């Protein structure tokens, strides 16, 4: 069995010291591929250089370039134009555009950075639209961040009908919301949310969906697993007697096991299908 972490912020400083060790541990636990989404112009070069350094060394790292809705407040159209150029220059080193998206909760707190909620959401939509357009022009898939925003995101995706579609990262929501995305060719990222017994709606959604539409992700170092579940990353870092990040790609097998329990599908069949789903989006 091989696994892919389809969404991990491996460029985060909390991983830098332990990176060689962490990647060897991933190799040992059959996590053979990690996709690193960028979040703002500040980390474009870092995710690119990580990806270039690690080609089957010891595992494969891939990256996507994009601007996350949380990090747009000091940016302007010229940053999007720079992104557009970088995507053309680095095309052979990136597998998609992301992470991009719309966040309804962030815009509610926009006053902190001197915007009204409406101004902020308008700017989010402009950045999202521009980057979906980039994906269309470059025939690339997208990685989409959502929070309180399914009803805003779906009309954009219907408008663009991206040939390569993409991933709805850290999906939480109802079966109908999931269906809206998969009808547009998207896959859904299954992450730590399923480790929380209170996430009944999302767990029921994954139970009902065909496994052809799912991919695994950790979103590490964010989105730690529920305390009810034992985390692999904590175990590793305890062994090394250094401070552990809240989440790491080593938790992929834990999330996988939870998904086996939810779907009732044979582990080998499920693992193979999840890998094929990643290939379908990023590597074909």
Whether the CB-CB separation of 275 and 3 falls below 8 Å is answered with yes
Please identify which residue in the block is written with the tokens 């730690």.
224
Residue 83: closest CA among 73, 94, 220:
94
CB of 264 to Zn ion, least distance (A): 29
Would you give the DSSP letter of residue 12?
S
Per-residue binding string, Zn ion, 84-123, x by CB under 5 A, is: ----------------------------------------
Structure tokens at 145: 């961040």
Q: Which is nearer to Zn ion, 128 or 270 (CB)?
A: 128
Query: What proportions of the chain, in percent to the nearest 5, are helix, strand and coil?
Result: 55, 15, 30
How far CA 13 is from CA of 19, 43, 157, 176, 284, in Å, comes to: 10, 11, 33, 38, 31
If DSSP codes are grouped into helix, strand and coil, which group holds residue 239? Answer: helix
The count of other CB atoms within 10 Å of the CB of residue 28 is 12
Q: Please state the closest distance from residue 263 (CB atom) to Zn ion, in A.
A: 24
Nearer to Zn ion, 11 or 219 (CB): 219
Nearer to Zn ion, 6 or 231 (CB): 6
Please say which residue, 251 or 263, places its beta carbon nearer to Zn ion.
251
Q: 5 vs 219, which CB is nearer to Zn ion?
A: 219
Binding track, positions 191-230, relative to Zn ion; x by CB under 5 A: ----------------------------x-----------
State the residues that interact with Zn ion by CB under 5 A. 219
């Amino acid at each position: 069995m091989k696994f892919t972490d389809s969404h991990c912020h491996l460029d985060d400083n909390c991983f830098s010291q332990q990176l060689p060790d962490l990647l060897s541990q991933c190799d040992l636990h059959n996590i053979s591929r990690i996709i690193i989404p960028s979040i703002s112009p500040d980390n474009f070069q870092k995710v690119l250089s990580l990806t270039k350094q690690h080609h089957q060394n010891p595992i494969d790292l891939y990256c996507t370039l994009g601007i996350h809705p949380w990090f747009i407040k000091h940016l302007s159209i010229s940053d999007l134009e720079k992104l557009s150029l970088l995507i053309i220059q680095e095309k052979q080193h990136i597998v998609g555009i992301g992470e991009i998206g719309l966040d309804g909760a962030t815009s509610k707190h926009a006053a902190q950075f001197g915007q009204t909620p409406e101004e902020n959401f308008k700017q989010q939509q402009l950045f999202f639209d521009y980057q979906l357009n980039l994906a269309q022009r470059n025939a690339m898939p997208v990685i989409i961040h959502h929070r309180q925003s399914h009803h805003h995101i779906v009309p954009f995706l219907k408008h663009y009908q991206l040939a390569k579609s993409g991933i709805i990262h850290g999906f939480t929501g109802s079966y109908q919301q999931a269906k809206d995305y998969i009808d547009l060719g998207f896959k859904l990222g299954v992450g730590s949310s399923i480790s929380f017994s209170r996430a009944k709606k999302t767990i029921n959604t994954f139970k009902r969906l065909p496994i052809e539409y799912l991919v695994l992700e950790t979103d590490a170092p964010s989105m730690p697993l529920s305390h009810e579940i034992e985390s692999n990353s904590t175990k590793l870092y305890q062994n090394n007697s250094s401070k552990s990040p809240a989440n790491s790609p080593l938790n992929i097998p834990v999330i996988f096991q939870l998904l086996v329990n939810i779907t009732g599908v044979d582990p080998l069949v499920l693992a193979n299908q999840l890998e094929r789903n990643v290939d379908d989006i990023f590597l074909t």
